[in-house]
A and B are shown apart, each in its own frame.
Chain A
Amino acid sequence: MKRTVPLFLAAATGFVLIVASFVPAAGSWGKYAVDWFNILAALAFVLGGGSLLSQHLKKISDQQAGWGYSLVTVVSFLATLVVGLGKFGVAPPTLHPDKVWAGDYKEAGSGFSWIFDYLYTPLAATMFSILACFVASAAFRAFRAKNVEATILLVTAFIVLLGRTYAAIWIGDQADWLASQVVDPAIWHPYVTGLRLDKLTETIMDVFNTAGTRAIMIGIALGIVSTSLKVLLGVDRSYLGSDDR
């Protein structure tokens, strides 16, 4: 029963969406599925919040390694929740000045907006920016021309890295100037313009990258179809977990 009901729900929902997509008369079924999804997602938020609190509160009470981070997580979570739900700093709407709770919690100047602008935004941007340091360190240690494939990758990376900056334009201009000292540009220019680093980068992205990506996308799409069918028909039950009872 524990496995049959979820299997039935997954199969029914999947087939409803497939029918809704291919049969015009059943087009509205998909809309109901989306409504159900939103309701379940809203409940999942509450469950997620509860789970986050219980996990981290246990870590704090047991004083496990890194419990200080859990404390920061819990305090940040509760503070944001209280400031948002309590609408701290939210002014009543102009049309209904007597209804103090009717303002938007996200409006400029509200407590929630302050948290978003001055805490969440810089923290999120910082986390993303740190990637540049790790990518640089990894490139220094691991990006080696060990074989032909790696060398091709390396040369391509150089072209794209340069082609994505002003360096490509500068190098191209210098090369043009040098060549024009020797031969009339009218003769060679039409033939070698495509070899400028910025143009080469465009070619790599538009031709080689697109061809590879297209092949991968088609492969992924076929894989999704086969995996989805296996899930809908109950052949693949791994999403239910490993408990066979």
Chain B
Amino acid sequence: MIDVLSNLDRRWVFAAMFVAVGWPILSGVRFKEEPSEGVRRVFRAIEDLPEGSTVLMALDYDPSSQGELQPMASAFTRHAAERGHKIYFMTLWPAGSPMIERSLRIVEQEYPDYVYGEDYVNLGYAPGLEGAIKAVVDDLRGQFATDARGNSLDSMPLTEGLRNIQNMDLLVNVSAGDPGAKQWVQYAATPHDIAMVTGTTGVQAPSLYPYIPEQLDGVLGAIKAAAEYEQVLSVAYPKFAESVKAQEGLRRMGPQLVAHLLMIGLIVVGNVIYFVERSRGPGGRR
């Protein structure tokens, strides 16, 4: 048995992972979440702002990581709209514009009273990587002559007086890498004392924890935190508890649970093989 497992073709491992992820998705199995203090901190950052506060929503990711980050972007958008905040969308990633469109659709479909140009606006893609952050911090008009739809910024109430982002009440960033959360902290939030929260991939989150709480109010790390955020949102706003669309993160925790259990199982089996082979001595098979 040990010898069979020791020489197991890796395609069996791939197949097991496929089943571990596929079964919970198809069965729709769901689990409750207990939001951590870190997630509650992020929630309070948006919740405690007075109605009508200005929120810059920087969505710096692309389709590669939308499975992990779109639930966060959607939850942030719903929360900000629910609180009646003024939302400015932008992205530093060339493939980020369609990601913004997904959030815009949420506003358009679920908040029909929200008026484009008065309550929310899509500034679109800002080229220049971290240089673009410096640009919007100092001189937004130099970076964006119009919004993403070609409207002059002077023609919309939300942007006509906007010269830079230094007076934003909150900076919300959803980030899959560079440029992203770290650069927003370094070039915008810290030098200009702008309150900031971020949602990031699990890989990136550990590098952002050192910024809490001075330079970052909170971090949502990976899909687990997205699910917890949806849970807090559902408790605060019960209408989200009945909306399937508002529970994308929660739905993805089923596959995460089974996949993690599989990983643990594989590591345990791998170590059993290792210790059995070690006990047999060099080159010894029985």
Partner of B32, one of A27, A42, A166: A166
**Is A139 within 8 A of B270, CB to CB?**
yes
**Is A139 within 8 A of B261, CB to CB?**
no
B127 within 8 Å of A (CB atoms): yes
| Given known contacts A34-B134, A116-B98, A166-B33, A140 and B139 CB-to-CB distance under 8 angstroms | no
**Is B98 within 8 A of A117, CB to CB?**
yes
Central interface residue in A27, A31, A41, A122, by most chain B CB within 10 Å:
A31
B222 within 8 Å of A (CB atoms): yes
Residues of A114-137 at the interface with B, using a CB-CB cut-off of 8 Å, are 116-117, 120-122, 124-125, 127-129, 132-133, 135-137
**Is A140 within 8 A of B98, CB to CB?**
no
Partner of B267, one of A143, A166, A167, A169: A143
**Is B139 within 8 A of A202, CB to CB?**
no
A69 within 8 Å of B (CB atoms): no
A108 within 8 Å of B (CB atoms): yes
**Is B14 within 8 A of A133, CB to CB?**
yes
A54 within 8 Å of B (CB atoms): no
**Is A128 within 8 A of B260, CB to CB?**
no
Tell me the count of chain B residues lying within 8 A, CB to CB, of chain A: 60
In the bound assembly, the distance between CA atoms of A128 and B68 in angstroms comes to 11
B237 within 8 Å of A (CB atoms): no
Partner of A125, one of B13, B63, B134, B264: B63
| Given known contacts A30-B134, A120-B63, A214 and B210 CB-to-CB distance under 8 angstroms | yes
**Is A169 within 8 A of B34, CB to CB?**
yes
- Give the residue name and chain of the B residue nearest to A41 (CB): B127
In the bound assembly, the distance between CA atoms of A209 and B205 in angstroms comes to 10
Residues of B158-211 at the interface with A, using a CB-CB cut-off of 8 Å, are 205-207, 209-210
Residues of B250-280 at the interface with A, using a CB-CB cut-off of 8 Å, are 253, 256-257, 259-264, 266-267, 269-271, 274
In the bound assembly, the distance between CA atoms of A133 and B110 in angstroms comes to 37
Shortest 6 CB-CB contacts between residues of A and residues of B: A166-B31, A34-B131, A121-B63, A165-B257, A140-B266, A124-B63
Contact surface of B with A, Cβ cutoff 8 Å: 8, 10, 13-14, 16-18, 21, 31-34, 36-38, 62-67, 95, 97-98, 101, 127-128, 131-132, 134-135, 138-139, 142, 148-150, 205-207, 209-210, 221-222, 224, 253, 256-257, 259-264, 266-267, 269-271, 274
A selection of 28 A-B contacts at a CB cut-off of 8 Å is: A33-B131, A38-B128, A116-B98, A122-B63, A124-B63, A127-B64, A128-B67, A132-B259, A133-B18, A139-B267, A140-B13, A140-B269, A141-B270, A143-B270, A144-B270, A144-B271, A145-B274, A154-B267, A161-B263, A165-B257, A169-B31, A202-B38, A209-B206, A210-B210, A213-B207, A213-B210, A214-B210, A217-B210
Contact surface of A with B, Cβ cutoff 8 Å: 27, 30-31, 33-34, 37-38, 41-42, 93, 102, 104, 106, 108, 113, 116-117, 120-122, 124-125, 127-129, 132-133, 135-137, 139-146, 154, 157-158, 161-162, 164-167, 169, 198, 202, 205-206, 209-210, 213-214, 217
